Amino acid sequence: MGHFLGRRTLYREGMVPERIWRNTAIALCIAVPASFYLLGDLADAFPGVLTVRSEQSEPGAGPAAEAEDWERVTTPAPQGHVAPEVDEEAAADVATRMDAHAGLPVVEGNLAYSVVDADSGEQIAARDAETARIPASTLKLLTAAAVLRVRDADEVLTTSAVVSDGTITLVGEGDMTLTEDKLTSLAEDAATLAAEQDTDTVALAVDTTALTGGENPAWGDNGIDGGWVTPTAAMALEEGWLDGEQYGAKSADPVGDVAERFRELLEEQGLTVEGDVASAEAPTGAAAAEVTSAPLGEIVRHTLLISDNTTAELLAHLVAQARGEDTTPEAAAAAVEAEIRELAAELGVPEEDLEAFEIADGSGLSRDNRVPPTVLASVLGEVASGDVAELEQILYDVPIAALSGTLADRFDAEDTSQAAGLVRGKTGYLGGAATLAGITTLPDGRTVGYSIIVHGFEGSEAADARAAVDEVAAELVSGS
């Protein structure tokens, strides 16, 4: 039922009280939303079992991405051994309760999961956990972990306007969250610099050397044409969402759109902008104005909460940038994969479990992604362990069952409502695969990372597959 994924010495001198305190804090982190949920439910502040469901205010999961049809294959439940430090009876109980849902009509045996103890790194319950499968949007958790390993959560992305010799060069570092207000402010400051240089007629150029970006061929039918994602770029206005909708029309040329709007804003400031927009590196040491993005930690939080494909792809490119590698879509995916392979090795994930591991994008839109549940669960166990400070924010960023983000309208059925406010997880769906991966606390007090996949169903059964995933996840917090 699992293999040993040990990675650390648990009881160094003076460590036990600290670990007990940390475990208590993590348990409270998960328990507090449950209490909040109960009080809010009674007050009719949000939907729940004690009140009538109110209108959802958080962004939902959005429409289903496209994928090829999947042939249903019924698979037997793999058997293994419980790691020696784990209470075998407790582990068997978790696995038995989760396995019971493999017989649901929509599942027919096609259930895979891994549950990893946060303290020890041991896999305590598993089914087909080493087989690499399509992770769908749960891949965003790996992208988030990768970027937080290589970049500071407080770091911001800068967009500059360099003014020199009658040319204003717009320089982008990857901020695809530029707002109209920020771009207006940048135009105002650039016009002021031009006036100080006695210039009222300028040429406009863009410098995108910091980030190559572009469309990822691995997206297939799930790219820009379907409204799923904006091509990654050195800059974009409002993520390139042309109608302001997460799954609406997307810009095919985010940099060009920013430049044209910037031209208009400069002209509103009284400047005359001559000629076409050119591509050129900005001169060094020249006068410049700048605006900055929200901290990367906030972009990660936004990405995981609403499953934002555009910012997820941007984060992958920032991983490649930080590693000193090319910033093409292919190189970005490879950089995330390399970073997670390094993390998996640190966590003690066996090399054979990574043989089929493959990352083709940063968002999970690609049908070519392959991730074993044991890898995701191990990474999430590390997130919840408290041993790696830079990853710990993911614990608080993922949606909470029946309360926030893409889980706001999940876990509201009678047989899953016990998990409301207790299970934290990132959702995923890609034709024939419904996934959920996150963090929760078992009834015995152990904090765990988990990854659940139901696969091989027909597209018409998507709602039932998601419900089945929720039922399996709810067993993690069930006491019987």
User: End of a domain among 251, 273, 293?
Assistant: 293
Q: At which of 248, 269, 293 does a domain end?
A: 293
The structural domain count of the chain equals 2
Domain boundary among 258, 293, 328: 293
- The CA-based diameter of the chain, rounded to the nearest angstrom, is 80
What is the reported pLDDT for 91? Answer: 65
Q: Which is it for strands 201-207 and 167-172: parallel, antiparallel or unpaired?
A: parallel
Q: What is the pLDDT along the chain (480 residues), one digit of tens a residue?
A: 443 343 332 223 333 445 544 555 555 555 555 444 444 443 333 333 333 333 333 344 455 554 333 333 343 433 333 344 555 666 678 999 999 999 999 999 999 999 999 999 999 999 999 999 999 999 999 999 999 999 999 999 999 999 999 999 999 999 999 999 999 999 999 999 999 999 999 999 999 999 999 999 999 999 999 999 999 999 999 999 999 999 999 999 999 999 999 999 999 999 999 999 999 999 999 999 999 999 999 999 999 999 999 999 999 999 999 999 999 999 999 999 999 999 999 999 999 999 999 999 999 999 999 999 999 999 999 999 999 999 999 999 999 999 999 999 999 999 999 999 999 999 999 989 999 999 999 999 999 999 999 999 999 999 999 999 999 999 999 975
Is residue 103 situated within a structural domain? yes
Do 206 and 75 belong together in one domain? no
Same domain, 134 and 89: yes
- Map residue 403 onto helix, strand or coil: coil
Residue 432 near residue 414, CB atoms below 8 Å: no
Q: Identify whether residues 265 and 358 lie together within a single domain.
A: no
Specify whether 315 is located in the same domain as 429. yes
Q: What is the pLDDT of residues 399-417, one digit of tens each?
A: 999 999 999 999 999 999 9
253 and 162 inside one domain: yes
User: Which residues are within 8 A (CB) of 463 and not within 5 positions of it... i.e. 6 or more apart?
Assistant: none
Residue 5 is assigned to a structural domain of this protein: no
Angle at 259 between CA 255 and CA 265, to 5 degrees: 145
DSSP 371: B
Q: Phi and psi dihedrals of 339, rounded to 5?
A: -65, -40
Q: What is the pLDDT of residue 431?
A: 86
Domain with 311, as residue range(s), is: 15-152+301-477
Q: List, as one string, the DSSP characters of 112-172.
A: EEEEEETTT--EEEEESTTS-B--GGGHHHHHHHHHHHHS-TT---EEEEEEETTEEEEEE
Q: Does 368 share its domain with 430? A: yes
pLDDT of residue 47: 37
Q: Which helix (H) or strand (E) holds 20?
A: helix 15-42
For position 23, what pLDDT does the model report?
Answer: 56
346 and 372 housed in the same domain: yes
The H or E element that residue 432 is part of is: none
Do residues 219 and 339 both lie within one domain? no
Asked whether 435 and 453 are in contact (CB, 8 A), the reply is yes
Residues β-bridged to residue 292: 158
Q: What is the layout of strands, in order, in the sheet containing 272-279?
A: 272-279, 201-207, 167-172, 158-164, 287-292
Angle at 221 between CA 217 and CA 227, to 5 degrees: 100
Q: What is the pLDDT of residue 6?
A: 39
CATH number at residue 201: 3.50.80.20
The letter for the amino acid at 477 is V
How much is the pLDDT for 65? 57
Ramachandran region of residue 276, left (φ > 0), alpha (ψ -120 to 50) or beta? beta
**Structure tokens, 259:** 């430049």
Q: Do 141 and 164 share a structural domain? A: no
Which CATH number does the domain housing residue 56 bear?
A: 3.40.710.10
Is the distance from CB of 98 to CB of 423 less than 8 angstroms?
no
Asked if residue 138 lies in contact with residue 451, where contact means CB atoms within 8 angstroms, the answer is yes
Whose structure tokens read 């974009």?
Answer: 236
User: What is the edge-to-edge ordering of all strands in the sheet holding 123-127?
Assistant: 123-127, 111-117, 447-455, 433-441, 424-430
List C-alpha distances in Å: 454 to 181, 351, 424.
Answer: 44, 24, 18
